């Protein structure tokens, strides 16, 4: 049910608004709670990577006999073994969480921010503004994402920011469409009409009265965008268009593929980053499931 969150609201109203904002975290759903826990664990790993990692992820390791420590299986000294070039897989996995979460979080914020703003403006003002913005969305829907990232990486310097830029330019379309449809149902509600009669400007109505009511929907698409961004970065790095100087889970998979790790049964090399990518992507969909039930309570039945 829409709620008016005017800045002129009484203290009791503000408390109810804060309670509603608190509901944006769907901890009651077990799937969402698990998804948030996975995010929390990986965020801690990324923050304390320097303390958790046992070696520098790019360091070539040598044993006591001065021989290259290559293709070693998991052991007490090398928790997940080593690569063909003698690099510690566990350390690469830990540091790779930084690239994954950086891309995922930044891309999700940009996608949701652009999509929400476009959806709000398009749905509220309508007319020519709506037509222009939705035609831009149609163009974005016609652009295949992964080839677009590859072309972008070919023209620009290889970087993880290519994935972020590509997502910001293309994937806002889904959020914008859904937010626009929601705004169309809200712009003629009684609380919006009351704000107009009270003399509120269009932008105040848009961001103070309407925007808070579509925030759960925006957060839903944000949680899904995190997983897609991490998956996209891994795909681009696996294809060799990522930043060659950055250690990421996709880079680990590409390195293992190029070294034919599967044919040598070096599962300790490519299985951990694969599981990490799956966990983070699944966590995004788990959190999204919780927001779906928050938006549509009938789904609980």
What is the mean pLDDT, run by run of 10 residues, along the chain of 301 residues?
45 46 59 86 92 90 84 88 91 91 86 91 90 92 85 78 83 89 87 84 86 81 80 80 80 87 87 91 80 58 54
Per-residue model confidence (pLDDT) at position 4: 46
Question: 11 Cβ partners below 8 Å, 6+ apart?
Answer: none
* Tokens 């169309």, located at residue: 184
Per-residue model confidence (pLDDT) at position 5: 43
How far from the centroid of its chain's Cα atoms is residue 50's Cα? 23
Per-residue model confidence (pLDDT) at position 248: 86
Q: How far is the C-alpha of 226 from the C-alpha of 287, rounded, in Å?
A: 11
Q: How far is the C-alpha of 27 from the C-alpha of 30, rounded, in Å?
A: 7
The predicted model scores a pTM of 0.76
* Tokens 């299985």, located at residue: 271
CB 89 within 8 A of CB 272: yes
Domains contained in the chain, CATH given: 28-45+89-300 (1.10.3720.10)
List, for residues 55-102, the tens digit of each pLDDT value: 999 888 888 778 888 888 888 888 899 998 889 999 999 999 988 888
């Amino acid at each position: 049910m829409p709620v008016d969150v005017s800045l002129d609201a009484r203290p009791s109203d503000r408390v109810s608004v804060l309670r509603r904002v608190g509901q944006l975290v769907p901890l009651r759903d077990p799937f969402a709670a698990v998804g948030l826990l996975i995010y929390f664990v990986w965020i801690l790993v990324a923050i304390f990577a320097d303390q958790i990692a046992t070696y520098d992820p790019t360091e070539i390791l040598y044993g006591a006999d001065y021989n290259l420590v290559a293709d070693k299986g998991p052991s007490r000294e090398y928790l997940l073994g080593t690569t063909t070039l003698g690099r510690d897989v566990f350390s690469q996995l830990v540091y790779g969480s930084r690239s994954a979460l950086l891309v995922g979080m930044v891309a999700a914020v940009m996608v949701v921010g652009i999509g929400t703003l476009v959806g709000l403006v398009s749905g509220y003002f309508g007319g020519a503004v709506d037509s222009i913005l939705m035609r831009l969305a149609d163009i974005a829907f016609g652009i295949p994402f992964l080839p677009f990232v590859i072309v972008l990486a070919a023209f620009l310097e290889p970087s993880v920011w290519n994935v972020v830029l590509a997502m910001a330019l293309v994937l806002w379309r889904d959020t914008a469409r859904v937010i626009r449809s929601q705004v169309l149902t809200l712009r003629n509600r009684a609380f919006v009409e009351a704000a107009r009669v009270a003399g509120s400007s269009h932008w105040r109505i848009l961001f103070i009265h309407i925007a808070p009511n579509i925030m759960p929907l925006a957060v839903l698409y944000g949680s899904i965008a995190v997983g897609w961004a991490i998956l996209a970065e891994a795909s681009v790095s696996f294809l060799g268009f990522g930043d060659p100087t950055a250690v990421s889970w996709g880079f680990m998979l590409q390195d293992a593929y190029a070294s034919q790790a599967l044919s040598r049964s070096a599962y300790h090399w490519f299985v951990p980053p694969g599981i990490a990518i799956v966990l983070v992507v699944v966590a995004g969909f788990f959190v999204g499931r919780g927001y779906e039930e928050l938006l549509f309570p009938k789904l609980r039945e």
